[in-house]
Amino acid sequence: MNYDKEFLKNKIGKTKTSFIILSVAIGIGVTFLIMLLLSVIMLMFNINDSFSAPFATVSLAVGSFASAFYSARKVGSRGYLVGLIVGVISFLVVMLISLLVSKDSIS
């Protein structure tokens, strides 16, 4: 739809693709920072390794939320739909990276 492209370009000042890439990058960055923070906390307080999976899940959820929140706030109207799409894309990208790096499967 031509209206949607023009709406997004006027609203956020970028094309749809670059806006989605920026939003996903923000989500991945937040996920990385939360994982880094939680790993330092685990190291400092000698927390058992069994907490690493829940901490990773929380990190991924917060990162996906951050990317969805950023995109929804930038778009304004219809932001919930754009935020949902960007959050899911961010989640899938991090999960794909996790699967490529990890020897284990999804738990």
Span 76-106, pLDDT tens digits: 777 888 888 888 888 888 888 888 887 776 6
pLDDT of residue 3: 46
pLDDT in tens, 44-82: 999 998 998 899 889 989 998 998 888 888 887 778 888
Reply yes or no on whether the pLDDT at 40 is more than 90: yes
**What size, in residues, is the chain?**
107
pLDDT at 47: 92
Nearest to 89 by CA among 54, 63, 52, 56: 63
pTM: 0.78
